[in-house]
Amino acid sequence: MNVKEKKKSWFRKELPFHLMLFPAVILTFIFKYIPFIGISMAFESYTPLKGMFDQKWVGMENYRYLFSLPGFGSVIWNTIFIAVMKMVGNLVFPVLIALLLNEVRGRHYKKTVQTVLYLPHFISWAALAGIFIDILSPSGGIVNQILNSLGMDSVFFLGDSKVFPYTVAVTDIWKELGWGTIVYLAAITGIDPTYYEAAKIDGANRFKQVLYVTIPSILPMILLMMVLSVGNVLQAGFEQVFNLYSPQVYSTGDIIDTYVYRIGVIEAKFDLATAVGLFKSAISFVLIMIGYKLADKLAGYKVF
């Protein structure tokens, strides 16, 4: 009786939370969990002509096929190489820029720079590609003109297979820089000003204030972003690579997504697309879990 009563009061205590979560749970169940049935396609030879449940089961055959494709190994490696560079850059630079922006005194300058920085996020790669081909051109592109005036040789950023992955990473980091700062700027805004006053009284200069107040305060947000972004280890950015690459940089620039795109997966081969998707999701999930545990162990913070 006592236990029962306890349980009841516990439930009554938590009831408001369950009610709050109810609509989201229903929607998530309908639009996310029911479609999970489709994951079975990864192990089927799927043809849209037949119904969802009448497909031919092939087990791991799709994976066997994918991994037996000539050069698929190097494609995975290219993907990881580009994605990891992006991952690190997209974590570090937005924090850095957010901190630098926070040091700007002039309100108008700060606002303007902030607004302008996030513009590239809105321009699609299809539109940016033409611009990059021009400014990165070894003959007459502005970037190489600057390099030449500094006494350096021209670099064929988009045509040299040794340079291409870096070009992809840097241009992507540039594009998403301003967009990435937004969460940190918001986090910085949320910092209690009294912390700074206390630091000032302790004799901390601006640099030390950043080090001991700002960074620790936005650390939860940085950790969250970090944990989420390790899941991107196989996301090298289809749209970008697709618009920038060419056969001469296939050896370093061809990524999983562009490769499967050329097989025709996007349009028709849903079994392979699902297999690739599941593979990527599984890896993401494992990495996010590891990141979550690490953040908990090292920083003592559960990000979720």
Supply 233's token pair: 């280890």
Residue 128 is a binding residue for another protein (CB under 8 A): yes
State how far the Cα of 62 lies from the Cα of 68, in Å rounded to an integer.
10
**Using the rule CB under 8 A, which residue among 63, 65, 166, 238 binds another protein?**
65
* 6 is a site residue for another protein (CB under 8 A): no
| 244-273 positions binding another protein, by CB under 8 A | 246-248, 250-251, 254, 259, 262-264, 266-270, 273
Nearer to another protein, 23 or 59 (CB): 23
Answer for which of 126, 152, 211, 290 binds another protein (CB under 8 A) is 126
Nearest to 142 by CA among 157, 129, 127, 128: 157
174 binds another protein (CB under 8 A): yes
For 132-144, letters b (16+ CB in 10 Å) and e give bbeebbbeebebb
Quote the least distance from Cβ 188 to another protein, whole Å. 8
**Shortest distance, CB of residue 140 to another protein, whole angstroms?**
9
Please pick, from the candidates 88, 147, 170, 220, the single residue that binds another protein as defined by CB under 8 A.
Answer: 220
Binding to another protein by residue 41, rule CB under 8 A? yes
**For residues 187 and 180, what is the distance between their CA atoms, to the nearest angstrom?**
12
User: Could you give the CA distance from residue 120 to residue 221 in angstroms, rounded to a whole number?
Assistant: 23
Dig out the tokens for 275 from the structure: 């297999």
Angle at 241 between CA 135 and CA 142, to 5 degrees: 5
First-to-last alpha carbon distance for the chain, in angstroms, is 36
Residue 64 and residue 300 in contact, taking contact as beta carbons nearer than 8 Å:
no
Is 147 a binding residue for another protein by CB under 8 A? The answer is no
Provide the minimum distance between the beta carbon of 85 and another protein in the complex, in angstroms, as a whole number. 19
Number of residues that bind another protein (CB under 8 A): 118
Binders of another protein among residues 66 to 125 (CB under 8 A) are 69-71, 97, 100-101, 103-105, 107, 109-120, 122-124
* Min separation Cβ 84 and another protein, Å: 18
Q: Is 37 in the site for another protein (CB under 8 A)?
A: yes
Minimum CB distance to another protein smaller for 85 or for 230: 230
**Nearest distance, CB of residue 20 and another protein, angstroms:** 4
**Are 298 and 86 within 8 A, CB to CB?**
no
Q: Which residue in the set 163, 204, 215, 228 belongs to the binding site for another protein (CB under 8 A)?
A: 228
Of 84 and 154, CB closest to another protein: 154
| Residue 146 contacts another protein per CB under 8 A | no
Distance CA 260, CA 62 (A): 12
**Distance of closest approach, residue 190 Cβ to another protein, in angstroms:** 5
Asked if 221 touches another protein (CB under 8 A), the answer is yes
> Is 255 in contact with 78 (CB distance < 8 Å)?
yes
By C-alpha distance, which of 72, 259, 258, 253 is closest to 163? Answer: 253
Rounded distance between C-alpha atoms, residue 260 and residue 58, angstroms = 19
Q: Which residue, 132, 225, 111, 230, is CA-closest to 175?
A: 132
